[in-house]
Amino acid sequence: MSSHEISFLVFSYLLGSIPFGYLIYYFSEGRDIRTQGSGNIGATNVLRSKGKLAGILTLVLDILKGAVPVIYGRAHIELPWIILLGALAVLLGHAFPVFLKFRGGKGVACLVGVFLFFYFPALLVFAAVFLLTLYMSRYVSLASLLASCALFFCVLLTQVAESSMVVFLMLLLIVFRHRANIGRIVAGNERKFSWRQNG
């Protein structure tokens, strides 16, 4: 791996570590979003704790975090799986941000940003499964998990093996970060999503 590619991975991790949800909530409320709701820094918890505008802004910025390394990588890096390693680095930065003592989010919005520019058909599969699951269950976490699984299988069936391996690591990371949600779903006390309860 060249020095340029290593620098790309480091930059991607540091970009992923920028905690947009934390910053939006802190500068508007003066408190740590991790002490509110689910304790997550992602868009769903920001939406529930602060409102629709803050939640949507967090979502858009986290999607952009995933998109930027892919846009750069497609212009400057030849191997697709190296680009995806940069995307994995973004997810790792988001989940374990150096700026927040490695206590971060779950990476799903970043994953959306990655495939918005890396392989759009996989994102369409993700969106279809996510929306259907959310409609039927009203669990954002379950929708995120099933949609991420569907995205992986789409990549597995259409992309080279190296790319599939990296996306599998992304999937494992997302499942790991949702382990508490999985426990609450099994126990029947996971919080359901509703726009109406947020301002």
Q: pLDDT tens across 38-72, in order? A: 788 888 889 888 888 999 999 999 999 999 999 99
Q: In terms of Cα–Cα distance, which of 13, 105, 129 is closest to 55?
A: 105
Buried/exposed code over 64-87 (b: 16+ C-beta within 10 A; e: otherwise): bbbbbbbebbeeebeebbbbbbbb
Ranges of the chain with pLDDT below 70 = 195-199
Residue 90, C-beta contacts closer than 8 angstroms, at least 6 positions apart: 12, 13, 15, 16, 65, 66, 69, 110, 113, 114
191 three-class SS: coil
Quickly tell me which residue has 């910025």 as its tokens.
61
Q: Which of 111, 105, 115 is nearest to 177 (CA)?
A: 105
> What confidence score (pLDDT) does residue 69 get?
96
Which pLDDT score is estimated for 38? 79
Q: Which residues are CB-contacts of 124 (< 8 A; sequence separation ≥ 6)?
A: none
Task: Say whether pTM exceeds 0.85.
Answer: yes
Residue 199: per-residue pLDDT: 46
End-to-end CA distance of the chain: 48
